Amino acid sequence: MQRIYSITLSLFIFISSLAQSGTSGQTLQRPKLVVGIVIDQMRWDYLYRYYDRYASNGGFKRMLTQGFSCENTLIPYAPTVTAPGHTSIYTGSVPAINGITGNFWWDNAEQRNVYCTEDKNVQTVGSTTNMGLQSPRNLLVTTICDELRLATNFQGKVIGIAIKDRGGILPAGHTANAAYWYDSQEGKWITSTYYMTELPQWVKDLNAKKLVDKYYEMGWATLYPVNTYSQSTADEKSYETKGVGTGFPYDLKKYVGKNYSVISATPYGNSFTIDMAKAAIEGEKLGADAITDMLAVSFSSPDYIGHGYGPNSIEQEDDFYRLDKDLGDFLNYLDSKIGQGQYTVFLSADHGVAHVPGFMKENKIPAGNFNEGAVLEQLNQQLKDKFGQGNLALSFSNYQLVLNNNAIDSNKKLKREEIVAATIDFFSKQSSVARVFDLHQLDETALPAKIKEMMINGYYPPRAGDIQIILKPNYIEAFLTSGTTHGMWNPYDAHIPLLWYGWGIKAGKTNRETYMTDIAPTLAALLHIQMPGGSIGKVISEVMK
């Protein structure tokens, strides 16, 4: 009996030692740093439209040839604008779930337009302006950055950076160590008391360099001879916004010490963002230990340039050649600072953009503008004539008309269904409108399944209007006689790039349909962490080794 007991005890000790040696010698493999790059207003076709002139050692060709490209990545909701785009990339969800239904939205509880990251309970940190009254509190779900913080018991650091406040705040999530954005009034990187009460010294040091003025001193001339820009129309077209000047070369010296907002509408806004990203890596020691950190960087300048000049402009072509060089330099920096193969990068966009209507008309393609202000005035007059009460339509928000429901409910003579019917009849006669319907009847609306799904995914009732308008292709929601915008379901707005590179990523591409919402769950799988709480995306398994 004693012999059996001894054998059993020895066997137990042996098995236990094997188990212990098998687990104690293994660690979970993760990259030191994850860098998320969102290019504000990058159509997918920019990857190949400018391909021949992208530098061989630049960012785009390096990621395309050495990384993985999801060639058919789409946005699965509308409106396709900045705040929902950044949010959906990092949450794996859609506005119907995460609550970020636009840059602004009509809040039915507060009966006013609300800005996506506004927060009156915080204060600006880093400047004397009100540009820091921002936080992620309007976001209803976690981001992949939050999940990384949770998975590492808050040991992994998360930093968000963008010229636009919403581009830095929403990706970084609720638990970020910090998000930083640009104060265009004072020319400084700032944050809010949601994150801290004083800027770190490394941010103060960067602000003290007054880099904006140094970039202004350089001026903006084309990277290559202007007459060789074969992917653009002629410079100085009447349908382009004059912006920082009338044409190349742009004299920026006149803005030194005077106007700090202009840099956002030049390629130097991208360079300035990378300056901040590098400073964050150095100052916060991101990627310096075995615990994975995350840096969420958004490049806002392509959006400012694109709105003013359009996809067929020399300005945007030059912007992407310069951004390509900046991205290449940044990847080289990551190689030297973090180590080759020690970091993971993804690159995508929050939305695309429509061509300038003036350009399309010039080339015999149907296009036009939807003048919201004029249409709203006409509608209210017709409703007043018909129902005897004015101001029954309050505003437009994200291609949705907001009705004055308080006035309708308080007047027993008014019937909502009659006002809705009259409004729909009015819009159906507008030459720029393809569809119009009551959002309360969205499920019953006759629409192609794909478009209907996008509308449903973008609809969060507490933050929505009453009547949805869908414009005809190449028509834009703007009264401007120059420039362009985005926001609809069409491929030029909804087809975006998605590139993967670095640790854990294999080289290749796929042409199968993937979605913006697949990015966060794919990162979760790569890092072996939980996907965000509102995620509905699927893992893109092809990208991983």
Give the residue numbers annotated as catalytic, written as ranges: 82
Contacts of 146 (CB under 8 A, 6+ apart): 158, 173, 174, 175, 176, 532
Peptide bond preceding 79: is omega within 30 degrees of 0, i.e. cis? yes
Neighbours of 12 (CB within 10 A): 10
HSE-up of residue 269 (Cα within 13 Å, Cβ side):
28
Calculate helix-pair angle for 314-334, 59-66, nearest 10 degrees. Answer: 60
Are the beta carbons of 461 and 106 closer than 8 angstroms?
A: no
Rounded to an integer, what distance in angstroms lies between the CA atom of residue 170 and that of residue 92? Answer: 13
Are the beta carbons of 124 and 477 closer than 8 angstroms?
A: no
Rounded to an integer, what distance in angstroms lies between the CA atom of residue 65 and that of residue 256? Answer: 40
**CA-closest candidate to residue 320, choices 105, 8, 116, 45:** 45
Are the beta carbons of 175 and 311 closer than 8 angstroms?
A: no
Q: Where are the beta strands (DSSP E) in 381-424?
A: 393-397, 400-403
What phi, psi does 386 have (nearest 5°)?
Answer: -85, -40
